[in-house]
Amino acid sequence: MKRVFSGVKPTGHLTLGNYIGAMRRWVTVDQHQADALFCIVDLHALTVEHDPARVCRLSRQAGTLLLAAGLDPELCTVFVQSHVDEHARLSYLLECVATDGEMRRMIQYREKAALERGRGGSVRLSLLTYPVLMAADILAYGTDEVPVGDDQAQHVELTRDLAVRFNQRYGHAFVVPRATHPEVGARVMNLQDPTSKMGKSDDVGPGIVYLLDEPDVVRKKVMRAVTDSGQDVVYDREARPGVANLLEILAACTGGNPEGLSGVYESYGALKKDTAEAVIEVLRPVQQRHKELCTDPGYVEGVLRDGAERARAMARPTVDAAYRAIGLLPAA
Ligand code: TYM
């Protein structure tokens, strides 16, 4: 059975982008067809300025939401990255095969570093090495496939490069993974700025639909989405990014494709109304289950504890073998 690994970073409340771009596929496809692990990558949340109590709270919330969205601990492994030491152990080894030039070329590093500097802050070294830790997450489990949104494609490419390089230098230690992306919704854009990604760590609240937004809030955000100056509702990502984004969200929520919806609507208002209702319908069962799970925090904790135990048992042999391959003296 193929191995699937993916993760979500607790730097903000989970968004519709996380759901459409990644989580939905984990729930509907990956957990049924693969030996799948889904990780709340809390160590990654420490790479930018953070509030310790908030990261802790968001990690618990992410665990609850992953289960609310439909991940089933009978079918897959859900756990928290910092509960499994192997991620940090392997990350260091991979730092010894990665180069600083490679790290500095990463788009997300450049964007986030520029943002931090723009705010007058300094850039944490861990932001530079972020992709190496991500590679460790993936490679520790012999992962075949990494289901992610488009924005993670470059990181998965780097992971492949590091795996191949390590294997060539030190003997076969890692499976070389590949990214998979959803056909529709691999990059959901901000409703207020459809040329930039809907990201949970951004500050522009009105352009972001959160998984726990009440129906009225969703309606308001979608109805106020920035559209384009034209009149006809056609799908054109370049010329009409605002309308294209709404068509993609609608298609992703109703199981269609955005090209098929092109020309169907007579006005932006009608498109927005249907999109809002479709999003509300997708979120409804997730929110309902989230509410139920919040009454039983012990259950979620138990799932994460068992998940970490299973994950540790899977990662340890791979990471131990990599330690030996690279020349470290075994402890016993
Ligand atoms: P994160 O937490 O930013 O996002 C989690 C998943 O959601 C996808 N995603 C989106 N997809 C479409 N449209 C959007 N607007 C959108 N926003 C987010 C992301 O592509 C991702 O699949 N570096 C990763 C976390 C990570 C990871 C890993 C992922 C750490 N280690 C190992 C896979 C494997 C991140 O920041 O995801």
Ligand 1 center–CA 330 separation, angstroms = 35
Determine the average pLDDT of the residues in 239-267: 93
* Cβ(198) – ligand 1 distance below 6 Å: yes
Rounded-to-integer distance, Cα 294 and Cα 301, Å = 11
- The pLDDT of residue 44: 98
Task: Name 79's Cβ contacts closer than 8 Å, sequence gap at least 6.
Answer: 37, 38, 39, 40, 304, 307, 308, 310, 311
Determine the average pLDDT of the residues in 222-242: 90
Q: Which atom of ligand 1 is nearest to the CA of 148?
A: 22
* Cβ(38) – ligand 1 distance below 6 Å: no
**Integer CA distances (angstroms), 269 to 236, 238, 273, 282, 298, in order:** 18, 21, 6, 20, 44
b/e sequence 127-144, b meaning 16+ C-beta within 10 Å: bbbbbbbbbbbbbbbbbb
Ligand 1 center–CA 8 separation, angstroms = 6
Which residue's alpha carbon is nearest to atom 27 within ligand 1? 7
Domain positions in the chain are 3-181+297-326, 205-291
Determine the average pLDDT of the residues in 271-286: 98
Q: Which atom of ligand 1 is nearest to the CA of 134?
A: 31
Residue with tokens 């890692």: 174
Q: What is the pLDDT of residues 81-122, one digit of tens each?
A: 999 999 999 999 999 999 999 999 999 999 999 998 998 889
The rounded mean pLDDT for the chain is 95
- The pLDDT of residue 229: 82
Which residues are known to be catalytic? 112, 197, 200
Which CATH superfamily includes the segment(s) 205-291? Tyrosyl-Transfer RNA Synthetase (1.10.240.10)
Lowest mean pLDDT among 36-40, 201-205, 264-268, 299-303: 201-205
Q: What is this model's ipTM?
A: 0.99
**Secondary structure of residue 80 in the 3-state scheme:** strand
- The pLDDT of residue 232: 85
Determine the average pLDDT of the residues in 240-256: 95
- The pLDDT of residue 332: 75
> Do the domains spanning 3-181+297-326 and 205-291 agree at the CATH topology level?
no
Determine the average pLDDT of the residues in 217-223: 97
Ligand 1 center–CA 6 separation, angstroms = 8
Q: What are phi and psi of 264, to 5 degrees?
A: -80, -35
Assigned CATH topology for domain 3-181+297-326: Rossmann fold (3.40.50)
Q: What is the pLDDT of residues 129-182, one digit of tens each?
A: 999 999 999 999 999 999 999 999 999 999 999 999 999 999 999 999 999 999
Determine the average pLDDT of the residues in 72-88: 98
Q: Does the structure show a pLDDT above 70 at 204?
A: no
Residue with tokens 């700025």: 193
